[in-house]
Structure 1
Amino acid sequence: MRSLLSLVVFLFAALVSAVSTTGNRLLVILDTPKDKEAYTTFFRDLSERGYDITYETPKSDDLKLFKYGERTYDHLVFLPTKIKGLGPNLTPNAIVDFINAGGNILLTMSATHKVPVTLVSVLDQLDVTIPAERNGKVVDHFTYDAVSAAETHDTLVLDAPRNVRPGLKDYFEIPGAFISVPHAIGHTLGSGPLLTPLLRAPPTAYSYNPKEQGDTVEPDELFAAGKQLALVSVFQARNSARVTVVGAAEMLQDKAFDTKVTRQGGKAIFPANKEFITNLAGWTFQELGVLRVNKIEHHLKGDNETNPELYRIKNDVTYSISVSEYAWNDWQPFHLPEGDHLQLEFSMLSPFHRISLKPIHVGEDETVYGTDFVLPDQHGIFNFMVNYKRPFLTNVEEKRTVSVRHMAHDEYPRSYVINGAWPGLTGISATIVGFLSFCIVWMYSQPVKSAAGAKKTQ
């Protein structure tokens, strides 16, 4: 009976386990507990997916991101607050340390609230810039919702993201759908390779602060306009921790999921906010785009001994790596996007070989990539290195170190099998044959005898 009960408990725990690969502890920072009522659908969806959600205000004394040097939460969600600073437990350094420790952050803003200076400092370190007043809203007089923003024009109705980064996997594409973006704070991005804009403002949009700017915005007062403004952006650190910046927290609210929007001259339709936010949160909390290396093997071609530590120059070597991709609580075979390559580097200080790996086996939850190649004519300490880093995918950096020795004295090939030695061998052979022929002729040739009885002459 006890074993049966243990089995039931185990199965229940497996069912409610979070789909995130980094954990299920989620901390939500908000002004008051009542604020979460506007996001009921969003948080209910996270709870059903197995997240253990804790709601705290910045003033809470029990709020700590670390305990005994370990993260107390796996994910953070920042909702708009009216507080200028987030207190001693949520300093910029503490939040950056949380990212460095592998934590993921979903940071939302709203033009109805000024962004706390703590989050402004964090965004600066990520090379994300917001208006100096910390609450300028994005306005567009052409792509606004004709019902809810008929006068203010600050609720944008935009096409869903499509082909965000050509040649890469796209987890956010929703063909033919629209996204409602109410009261957004636009931000600009630096040129860092770790930042990717998902949703940009249309060309006719601009950042506007009605409290500090008049009806006419002067060019020198303009923070940014058009495609310079990003509304939703993502950042993936080198340790694969993820930060998502959402310029409009209202995109996550129930009314954004349930209220129809209307473009000028168009029909009223439901926006695809729920699907977009689900994918966005899933990617941020590492439910999507997570790569795992299952196994790495290298060995002499045709040999059964795997992963030896010593090779010889010019050996024929086989290398293989097994990779899986995590998507919504399921490990799947990882398939490269069209035109992309998973490459192996065989390097000492610099690569001697850089080879594209080919899929050699596809299983239920893995794809095995491999190749055969000949080791260089150079002895020393070498690395089998796979360094695969792409936006939207966790980084793969796998290195195996081996020694490559030179040939032993009895391993060099005989001279007669080396084409370059044939002229020398021919000369030596000709010399030997000529010398022996001369010796034979000399030894077996008799001198000419003089005539018998010839008279002496004076």
Structure 2
Amino acid sequence: MRSISSFITVLSFLPLLCHSFSPENPTDRRLLVLLDDFSLKSSHSIFFHSLQSRGFELDFKLADDPKLTLQRYGQYLYDGLILFSPNTDSFGGSLNLGAVLDFVDSGHDLIVAADLSASDLIRNIGTELGVDFDEDPSAVVIDHTSYAVSETEGDHTLIASDDFIQSDVILGQTKIEAPILFKGIAHSLNAANSLVLKVLSASPSAYSSNPSSKSSQPPSLTGSTVSLVSVLQARNNARIMISGSLDMFSNRFFVSAVQKAGSTNIYKKSGNQQFVSELSKWVFHERGHLKVVNLGHHKVGEVDEPAMYRIKDDLDFSVEIYEWSGNSWEPYVANDVQVQFYMMSPYVLKTLATNQKGLYSTSFKVPDVYGVFQFKVEYHRLGYTSLSLSKQIPVRPFRHNEYDRFITTAFPYYGASFTTVAGFFIFSFIFLYNK
């Protein structure tokens, strides 16, 4: 009896235990921030506070913490990962290169910041994500025409760049006026990866080299091939930001005045804070995130969705698309959303009309081909999450009693048949009764 009562007592605590060890709710928007040193919490506090003010919960840990883990009981504990640990040769706990890539493959977001002392681990992460850092570990970005003017001329490794990607959805609609201060290493985009984009580029006069030594070989990265900050949106809509500078996120660069060489404009504050804040909004899906609801179709004049269509039926198709504004879902308005009526290849391709309130619709006639078709909506636009959805529907031919009794185009054949009958009758009459 005592064992039975003990078993019942344990069972009574199971719901509580399951609740206590359940993974975090993904709507909590938890971010894991890995640091080389906890001093980065204060030196980069403006950036971290901007994330917290937008509702993110930050979990700061050292990159070599032996208890590091991204998931528990098969569920991920975080929605995003920030790697501000360029010096780390290996992560602690169960975290490694493969775990980071699996985290991205599962649809989660990532920010990677490197600097001159970037380890092979950080460089390998960049390589797996579609960018290649300069192989020379002592090389930094140098620009003798687009550097930031300072009291000491220096070696022109403090770059003032204003070559941004032209995309409001990625960088926001408010134009960044002041140049971005950048001091770090260069990377290039892997030509085999079509998903990675330059967000902040170096000027044509920039190159990657060691400023303290003379090299007999030309720089491997020069001009337009040098990328300072790049982003990637994977096919599963995970978003990644890769920066060659950790200082770019620092309070010092956020509040520093900046003057670009060759310009008379002096800005009291660099554009770093606006640039990083707006770009992080895109990375963490606060902007440019779409969803599709209420995909439907029915015959013209009806309301209910049929189990199948007949060839040459007239049908109405509709779908609703909304965009996340950071606080709520708002109607997404565009004029380039299309639907395909697809079987092996698209038989119908129609651009959807919108009512400016999120509803997209069109009408068309089912083609004169029967089989199993799909309504397919595939939408790919720079900066927005990709939409790919389909709905299957069979199309049948006419039944035997659904064909028209007389077809207009067949009148010549009808006439030929009756003429043949009449001719045969006249011939038979003459043959039988004419002597």
Report the TM-score range of the alignment, normalised by the length of the smaller protein.
0.7 to 0.9
Shift of 1:90: 2.6
CA distance in 1 between partners of 2:43 and 2:310 (Å): 66
- Out of 375, 398, 413, which is 1:424 matched to? 413
Contact 2:142 2:209 in 1 (8 A): yes
- Equivalent residue number for residue 352 of structure 2: 357
Give the gaps of 5 or more residues in structure 2: 1-24
Contact 2:65 2:92 in 1 (8 A): no
- Specify the code of the residue in structure 1 equivalent to 2:330: Q
Shift of 1:425: 1.5
Identity %: 28
- Specify the code of the residue in structure 2 equivalent to 1:255: R
Shift of 1:309: 2.5
- Equivalent residue number for residue 125 of structure 2: 122
- Equivalent residue number for residue 272 of structure 2: 273
- Equivalent residue number for residue 223 of structure 1: 220
Q: For 1:283-322, what aligned pairs fall within 5 Å after superposition?
A: 283-306=282-305, 308-322=306-320
- Equivalent residue number for residue 194 of structure 1: 195
Q: Secondary structure at the match of 1:410?
A: coil
- Relative distance call for 1:173 and 1:159 in structure 2 (3 A) is farther
- Out of 52, 74, 80, which is 2:57 matched to? 52
- Relative distance call for 1:289 and 1:240 in structure 2 (3 A) is same
What whole-Å deviation, never above 9, does each CA across 1:173-211 have from its counterpart, x for those lacking one?
653613323312110001222111111100000011236
2:322 equivalent to 1:324: yes
Shift of 1:74: 0.8
2:24 equivalent to 1:39: no
RMSD of aligned Cα (Å): 2.6
CA distance in 1 between partners of 2:371 and 2:137 (Å): 56
- Specify the code of the residue in structure 2 equivalent to 1:350: S
Q: Secondary structure at the match of 1:283?
A: helix
CA distance in 2 between partners of 1:103 and 1:87 (Å): 20
CA distance in 2 between partners of 1:178 and 1:148 (Å): 19
- Equivalent residue number for residue 181 of structure 2: 181
- Relative distance call for 1:131 and 1:392 in structure 2 (3 A) is same
Q: For 1:234-273, what aligned pairs fall within 5 Å after superposition?
A: 234-264=231-261, 265-269=263-267, 270-273=269-272
CA distance in 2 between partners of 1:234 and 1:79 (Å): 16
Q: Secondary structure at the match of 1:320?
A: strand
- Relative distance call for 1:282 and 1:227 in structure 2 (3 A) is same
Shift of 1:171: 3.4
2:328 equivalent to 1:333: no
Identify which range, 254-263 or 141-150, moves more after superposition: 141-150
- Out of 132, 135, 160, which is 1:132 matched to? 135
Please identify the structure whose Cα radius of gyration is greater: 1
CA distance in 1 between partners of 2:164 and 2:206 (Å): 17
Contact 2:67 2:93 in 1 (8 A): no
- Specify the code of the residue in structure 1 equivalent to 2:299: L
- Relative distance call for 1:383 and 1:343 in structure 2 (3 A) is same
CA distance in 1 between partners of 2:152 and 2:182 (Å): 9
What whole-Å deviation, never above 9, does each CA across 1:235-268 have from its counterpart, x for those lacking one?
1111101110012222211122211111234232
Give the gaps of 5 or more residues in structure 1: 1-19, 449-458
- Specify the code of the residue in structure 1 equivalent to 2:272: N
- Equivalent residue number for residue 207 of structure 1: 208
CA distance in 1 between partners of 2:398 and 2:151 (Å): 79
Q: Secondary structure at the match of 1:268?
A: coil
What whole-Å deviation, never above 9, does each CA across 1:10-41 have from its counterpart, x for those lacking one?
xxxxxxxxxx9865101111012222111111
- Relative distance call for 1:95 and 1:141 in structure 2 (3 A) is same
- Specify the code of the residue in structure 1 equivalent to 2:372: I
- Specify the code of the residue in structure 2 equivalent to 1:349: M
Q: Secondary structure at the match of 1:261?
A: coil
- Equivalent residue number for residue 21 of structure 2: none
- Equivalent residue number for residue 456 of structure 1: none
Shift of 1:429: 3.6
- Specify the code of the residue in structure 2 equivalent to 1:190: N
- Relative distance call for 1:386 and 1:146 in structure 2 (3 A) is same
CA distance in 1 between partners of 2:181 and 2:45 (Å): 18
Shift of 1:420: 2.0
Shift of 1:134: 3.8
Shift of 1:49: 1.0
Contact 1:155 1:180 in 2 (8 A): no
Q: Secondary structure at the match of 2:111?
A: strand
CA distance in 2 between partners of 1:129 and 1:70 (Å): 31
Identify which range, 132-141 or 100-109, moves more after superposition: 132-141
